[in-house]
Structure 1
Amino acid sequence: MFFLARLRAIPAYCLLFLSLVHAREDSLFTSSVTYCEPPETLLIQQFDVAYFSANQSVVFNISAASVEANVYVNANLLLNVYGMNPVNVTLDLCEILGGALCPLPKYNFVGSDSISLPESLGVLDKIPKIAFHIPDLEGFAQLVLTEVGTGDVKACVQATLSNGWSTHQPAVEWATGGLALAALISAAWQSVSPEAIAPSRLLDLLYLYQTIASTSFLSLNYPSTYRAFTLNFAWAMGLFSTSSPSSLQTSINHMRHLTGGRLADATSSSAVSLVNRKLSPYNAPNSQFIATPPIIPRALEFDLSSFANFSTTSHQSSSQVFKALAVDSGAQGEVQTVTSSSSNVLQAGIPIYVNSIHIATANAFMTVLLCTLILFGIALGMFVLGYAVLMCQRVIRSDLHLPLRTYRFWICSWIFRLGIVVFPPITTFAFYQWTLKDSWLSILLSIIAFLITVSLVTYPTFVTCRLARSDSSQALYSKSEHLTLFGPFYVQYRTPRFYFFIIILVASFLKSFFTAFAKASGEVQIIAMVIIEGVVVTLHCLLRPHNTRGGDIFSTFLAIIRLVCTGLMIAFVERLNVAPIPRVAIGLVAAVIFSVAVIVTAINLAFHSGIGRIWSFRGYNTSNTSGSASESMLEKGKISNSNSSEHIGRPVNPTPEQSLPLNSHFLQPYPVSPTETVEQPSVYTRDSGTITVGSLMPRRWSFSPLNSPTNSSQAHEPSSYSSHSTNMISGSSSVPLPPPTHLP
């Protein structure tokens, strides 16, 4: 009579081999539930099961019903963990529990409780300790009911498993966003100078974020842990994680359906339940389910029979346990049917990625577009606010025409920077929207957004190249207006290498192109990405485009990071059939490498944020104040002589403490007249009243004023000659010297 009440031990057993960490307690829970075959006998509304290793207990919350009478079935239990099947047994339900499950009784079951598992099962010994702590565990439990005699499948249920750890953490999203915001403030502050480095480093940081996120857009079999890691940077591509249901996504769905959209909306449950079964976390490429001949281990037969008289009444303790779990598996929504021929299966690449944050595949572009419009709206508001402040100052002062004009150029330069930032996401998702052929309005908006975004980067490129060709590349840096407007594209590069920004833009465009239009073949995508990144690294090494060696090292470092991590993803190609555990290890290595790159970029940003210059300026002010005080006291004659108690007032000795390199031309005597040439001896003696070049000077040196130059020399001498020569000539000689020249 109590079919499902006694059948509860079967799904519970499926979940005993993994763990969930909640409140620092090793445990396990179901993260999603789906039908792997259309349901005929068993209907499930909710299926939440958790295992706690501390007391070897199972907590469940199940709502199900048996709707067909006179059905004799066998139950197959399968556990898949990283492609391995540690449990795969088939139970003849007529031979257990005293035959209470033959035939299956029609029964509605709704209940939750906690079960203590017998020690004879040895469940704790079969679970590796690492399974309790490895992030984004890949495993699922499967229950298949097949009719005796015919072998027809009457029910097939799959439940993915999780241990509570994940590399996708809101704290990481906030930290990376905070770093970008701090870099933005520093860049805005320093961008008053067109040659500031901080704005360029801001673009490098955002491009790194976008690269990390876009590496999960390819049609590859990513391990769940790496895909979850890249979700931390989805916001950099304009994909902000939304709750389910979301008013924004609901509005986009409504718009699509009114304009010819027919693709599925985002699921309210976990996207993992709809993932193609060939991919992680299922890793089951051979068949939808696996059945074996009926076999019942004797130990299992005894233990199952001990549950025959279990009550289905819900207890308060188990209810509290599930509330404490927050049943991350709980809000599963409607249990959907996912088979090899289902149209709702999520394929590798963008579909799985965007649905993991509750964004439908067909909604991806519209989400990116709306986030881009919000970004430009915020920027426009800040620009208008700054303009209003300057206009108020202009009312008070009438000489602010130049600052207002400069401010307009500054606004335009930041609009171009925003164009560089949104160029990768807009091109990627606009291209992808064209491949979906869903909603004519979405396609039209994608074309408009694509043209506007491309114009924001192609127009400055055209103007810059035209100026460099008509005049010279040096004119790009000498014309202040052009440098202020279009400097964000090329100012960080050396004059002969001003064009290097075109290489970065073309590489970004090609990556977007292959991501969208080669989605049918992951091999083509990854080969193209490796070639593109390899070419960029090679050009960095050969051209060394940056103004400083540090800039070349930093940019080359980031390029090598992109190449290495892209190369590691070759292991994720489905045709290579790399085992799940090595793929997870490679994914973790790539995540660590990218994390190191983010840390290095953050350090570089801090170095160029201006904090060091502020600190140096403070130290300079302190030392300068001390020096000024000493000089002031010397001028007033208040420095005491160590050999005398009297105060001596004397000027500071102008003799430099360090010898300066002297130009040989500087030592030539200045002619008395333009036509007269004085031949300078190679060596002078002090007795003759001249100087000796290269010889050791006396400790004490007497100074005498120079003789005034002749009228002829004054005609050819700058007015500042006398003051400079007075500071440069020492001794009793009055030999005139040439005009002062710049000392290296």
Structure 2
Amino acid sequence: MLARLALLSLSLPFLLVAAGSGSLFTSSVTYCQPPTELLVQQFDVSYFQVNNSISFDIVAQSVGSNISVSASILFNVYGITPVNVTIDLCSLLGGALCPLPQYTFNGSQSLALPAALGVSNRVPAIAFRIPDLEAFAQLTLVDVHTGEVQACVQATLSNGWSTRQIGVEWATGAVALFTLLVAAWQSTKPHAILPYRLLDLLHFYQTIAASALLSLNYPLLYRAFAANFAWAMGLIASPNNSRLQHAIDTMRALTGGHLANSSSASAVGLIDRKISPWNTNIVTASSPLTQSLLADPSASATNSTPTNLLLAFGALQQLSSVDEVQTVTDDSSNVLQAGIPIYVNSIHIATANAFMTIFIVGLVVVAIALGIAGLFYGSLYAMDRFGWGKEHTRSELKSSYPAYIRAWALRLGLIGLFPIMIFVFNQWSLKDSWLSTLLSVLALLAILAVVLYPVYRTLRLARRESPDALEFNLEHLATHGPLYAQYRTQRYYYFLPLLVAAFVKAVAIAAGQGHGMAQVVVLLVVELALVAAHILLKPYHSRGGDVFSTYLAIVRLVCTGCMIAFVESIGVGAIARVAVGAVIAVIFSIAVIVLIINIFLHAGVNRLWRRNNQDARAPSRQGSADASTLEKGITPHRFSATADNTSATRYSTSASILSHTDRDTNK
């Protein structure tokens, strides 16, 4: 009976967020004080506005003897406390709850709430539609004789709407895969655009994910939005009871690990109570405001279960039972702090498991890449062995294969550099498993070797000879072109500011945990410097490239600047922070859409609607092409059928290089 009344009492806060059709349900349950008199093993409760009813499933037990308590109920939504009442349990059910009975309650119930509460007139309907609702209810049992708190339970509430959607993750991943496939085909030409757009796309995904790793008081809405792009960092969201996370937990335990393991339970219950979704300090008792809302037992409970309630309850996706209700207080060691801990735990990856997750995902990616490279090499060997295809084609493919593979190894290194630096530096700060630390050192050295060696070769060639040598040295261009080929010859070094910026941001994110303001300031300075560099240096071959890259840099700068509102010490209200978080999410989303459109245009989609116009101008097409070639200062040549194809390819590549060189000189 105590458990039933406790649930009915907890249902009261649900009323204040119910004003339209919809439902609310428990997303996490924690003790806000070490349990002594009331133990909760499972607590799933749902409210349905359509008929002002609640349904619940609970396993609870009263273990104290001769305890008479009052129930204090507090409800907090976005930092506002519209309900803080105390109910005298001894006045209910003829005093059957004084003292509390000692037995375990295990079951479910549907209850119709009293109309006297006036639910529909008190709360806006937006509470059922706003994604990632920030609300919690708290039940505190206080001894009526001593005034001591005997039990305290907190439950976060959700309406089922969230900015984190599995469809978004699959869609962004599908775009990245499409870009990868087309880029792999186009990358045979060193100046093809799409291989660089692949880097832009994944780096932008990583920027969005990394923006939620700072020690800031993010609204729940923005944390959920940024989690859509966690996969681009190598943080693959783990399902419940993930074998991968369990294996990492075991490895850490055997190698000196002492930090908390991964959990399949919701991480929101363990978030620091000062930040979203709690937006308050832990409350251990309600104010002495007494109301007799439940004085009439007949008005508060019924055994009837409406058909539409059963249908709605069956359709609602319920959370799994809580394996263990955690105790979270100001002094608890299990509280998740803002930054990396909250972000990774929200996708069921323990803080100490983050690097190892990225490391294993990286190994899988490398294994797949090596498998594809080996398959391609085997195909070339079979073609040469059995004489498939034309001889000059086989010779050309065989000679260009090593440079092609090395160029893609460099691209993979550039993609993985930023997340690996962040979580390697973070791993060093944890001082956990010695094996994880050792592997983090090896991973950092490996990826630095993949990236920095081409950087060294490129800078040395440009210094010893001239920047033009970077374009005329065809072997170097084919191998190390991913670093500089998209920039004008005079701005070949522009990859250096980008690499330095990635390093500084990684250090600020990993080493600056716990110092949100400092992190935002450092990132803001870096992004401002990059915008200035784009505007002043104009590094790209075309004005369109400069405009596009500058736009992305400005988006990063604006969104980073907006995050000042999330600095905890500034104290911006919860509702205002949610509004700012929504604005940032919209700005980032628009930029992603612009990126995707640009990618599809460079993938050749624009040719579909140009084809008809080109066919109409077919007689003049050759003349236009020759005129364009002559305008670039290149004399057109025709090769006979017996000409060496390799020489033709070299001439074609040299002509393309001369074209870019002349264009740079004109600028």
Using structure 2 for the length normalisation, give the TM-score: 0.90
How far apart, CA to CA, are the structure 2 residues paired with 1:194 and 1:331? 55
Q: Aligned-pair distance for 1:93?
A: 1.7
Is this contact kept in 2: 1:4–1:107, CA < 8 A?
Answer: no
Report 1:224-373 matches (<5 A). 224-285=220-281, 287-293=282-288, 295-297=290-292, 300-304=293-297, 306-307=299-300, 322-327=313-318, 329-373=319-363
Contact residue 71 and residue 147 of structure 1 kept, 8 A: yes
Distance 1:420 1:361 in 2: 25
CA RMSD of aligned residues (A): 2.6
- Residue in structure 2 matching 1:79, options 75, 80, 90: 75
Mapped pair 1:602 → 2:596: yes
Look up the SS of the partner of 2:603 in the other structure: coil
Contact 1:138–1:282 (CA<8 Å) still a contact in 2? Answer: yes
Shift of 1:267: 2.0
- Deviation, 1:578, is 0.4
Matched, 1:15 2:10: no
Q: Secondary structure at the match of 1:359?
A: coil
- 427-436 vs 610-619, greater mean Cα deviation: 610-619
Alpha-carbon displacement from aligned partner over 1:76-113 (angstroms, at most 9, x marks no partner): 10000000001000122223332221111112211212
Q: State the match for 2:201 in structure 1.
A: 205
2:644 is matched with none
- What amino acid does structure 2 have at the position aligned with 1:14? P
Counterpart contact for 1:365–1:430, Cα < 8 Å = yes
Q: Deviations over 1:133-167 (max 9, x none)?
A: 00000000000011123222111000000011000
Corresponding residue of 2:26: 30
Deviations 1:612-665 (A, max 9, x none): 3576567646753x789xx9xxxxxxxxxxxxxxxxxxxxxx9x9xx99x99xx
1:111 maps to what in 2? 107
Amino acid at match of 1:49: V
Shift of 1:289: 3.2
Structure with the higher fraction of residues in helix conformation? 2
Which whole-Å deviations, capped at 9, do the CAs of 1:264-300 have from their partners, x for residues lacking one?
A: 0122210001111111000013x43342115124xx1
Match of 1:394 among 366, 373, 384: 384
CA distance in 1, matches of 2:321, 2:95: 35
With over 3 angstroms needed to count, the CA separation of the structure-2 counterparts of 1:622 and 1:352, relative to structure 1, is same
Does structure 2 conserve the Cα–Cα contact (< 8 Å) formed by 1:190 and 1:198? yes
Quick one: distance in 2 between partners of 1:35 and 1:43? 9
Residue in 1 aligned with 2:214?
A: 218
- Alignment partners' CA distance in 1, 2:497 and 2:19: 47
How many residue pairs align between the two structures? 626
- 1:642-661 correspondence to structure 2 within 5 Å: none
Partners of 1:332 and 1:176 lie apart in 2 by: 32
Deviates more, 1:116-125 or 1:207-216: 116-125
Q: CA separation in 1, counterparts of 2:28 and 2:170? A: 27
Q: 2:26 touches 2:158 (CA, 8 Å); kept in 1?
A: yes
Give the structure 2 partner of residue 559 of structure 1.
Answer: 553
Identity %: 51
State the alpha-carbon separation in 2 of the partners of residues 64 and 321 from structure 1: 25
Q: Partners of 1:413 and 1:19 in 2: how far apart?
A: 57
Give, in angstroms, the shift of residue 319 of structure 1: 7.0
Residues 242, 561 of structure 1: alpha-carbon distance in 2 compared, 3 angstrom cutoff: same
Q: Which residue of 2 aligns with 1:474?
A: 468
Contact 2:186-2:195 at 8 Å conserved across structures: yes
Structure 2 match to 1:649: none
Aligned position for 1:588: 582
Equivalent-residue separation in structure 1 for 2:411 and 2:141 (angstroms): 60
Q: Secondary structure at the match of 1:49?
A: strand
Which of 35, 50, 57 in structure 2 is aligned with 1:39? 35
Q: Is the 2:111–2:300 contact (alpha carbons within 8 Å) kept by the matching residues of 1? A: no
Deviation per residue, 1:189-225 (Å, 9 max, x gap): 1101011111011100111000000000000000000
Counterpart of 1:636?
A: none
2:565 to 545, 568, 571: 571
* Structure 2: 5+ residue stretches without partners: 632-665
Structure with more relative contact order (C-alpha pairs < 8 Å, separation 6 or more) = 2
Taking the aligned partners of 1:20 and 1:540, their CA distance within structure 2 comes to 50
Q: Distance in 2 between matches of 1:615 and 1:410?
A: 32
**How far apart in 2 are the matches of 1:31 and 1:148?**
31
Structure number with greater Rg is 1
C-alpha distance 294-94 of structure 1, shift in aligned 2 (>3 A): farther
Whether 2:131 is the aligned partner of 1:135: answer yes
> 1:357: Cα distance to partner?
0.6
Instruction: Say whether 1:121 aligns with 2:117.
Output: yes
1:530-541 matches, within 5 Å, as: 530-541=524-535
Q: Distance in 1 between matches of 2:137 and 2:296?
A: 20
Conserved 8 A contact 2:222-2:581: yes
Instruction: After TM superposition, give the deviation of residue 115 of structure 1 in Å.
Output: 1.3
Q: How does 1:607-622 map to 2 (within 5 A)?
A: 607-613=601-607, 616=610, 620=614
Return the alpha-carbon distance in structure 1 between the equivalents of residues 617 and 342 of structure 2: 60
TM-score when normalising by structure 1: 0.81
Q: Using the TM superposition, give the Cα deviation of residue 478 of structure 1 relative to its aligned residue in structure 2, in angstroms.
A: 0.9
**Is 1:443 aligned to residue 433 of structure 2?**
no
What is the CA deviation profile of residues 401-445 of structure 1, one whole-angstrom value per residue up to 9, with x for unaligned ones? 342120110011000000000001111000000000000000000
SS of match in other structure, 1:351: helix
My pick for the range that moved more, 9-18 or 153-162, is 9-18
Mind listing any 5+ residue stretches in structure 1 that lack a counterpart?
A: 632-653, 664-743
Cα–Cα, structure 1 residues 10 and 584, in superposed 2: closer, same or farther, change >3 Å?
A: same
Cα shift at 1:124:
1.8
Give the SS at the match of 2:15: coil
Partner of 2:411: 417
SS of the aligned residue for 1:15 comes to helix
Q: Which residue of 1 aligns with 2:368?
A: 378
CA–CA separation in structure 2 for the residues paired with 1:145 and 1:229: 37
Displacement after TM superposition at 1:512 (Å): 0.5
Give the counterpart letter for 1:568 in structure 2. C
Amino acid across the alignment from 1:211: T
Query: Following the alignment from structure 1 to structure 2, what is the Cα–Cα distance between the partners of residues 425 and 374?
Result: 16
CA contact under 8 A between 2:180 and 2:195: conserved in structure 1?
A: yes
Report the Cα offset of residue 8 of structure 1: 3.5
For residue 427 of structure 1, the aligned residue among 416, 421, 428 is 421
Output the CA distance in 2 between the equivalents of 1:587 and 1:295: 37
Contact kept, 8 Å, 1:32 with 1:272, in 2: the verdict is yes
Structure 1 pair 618/468, CA: closer, same or farther in 2 (3 Å)? farther
Contact 1:239–1:368 (8 Å) recurs in 2? yes
SS for the counterpart of 1:499 is helix
Return closer, same or farther for 1:10/1:615 CA change in 2, 3 Å cut-off.
Answer: closer
Does the CA contact (< 8 Å) of 2:19 and 2:125 recur in 1? no
Contact conserved, 1:18 with 1:163, CA < 8 A, in 2? no
| Residue identity opposite 2:38 in structure 1 | L
Q: Does the 8 Å CA contact 2:53/2:112 hold for their aligned counterparts?
A: yes
Alignment of structure 1 residues 37-186 onto 2, 5 Å: 37-186=33-182
Name whichever of 612-621 and 561-570 sits farther off.
612-621
User: In 1, Cα distance between the equivalents of 2:67 and 2:147?
Assistant: 12
Which letter maps to 2:12? Y
Contact 2:44/2:321 (8 A) holds in 1: no
Partner of 1:644: none
Amino acid at match of 2:462: A
Matched, 1:504 2:494: no
The aligned amino acid for 1:463 is: R
In 2: Cα distance, 1:616 partner to 1:484 partner: 31
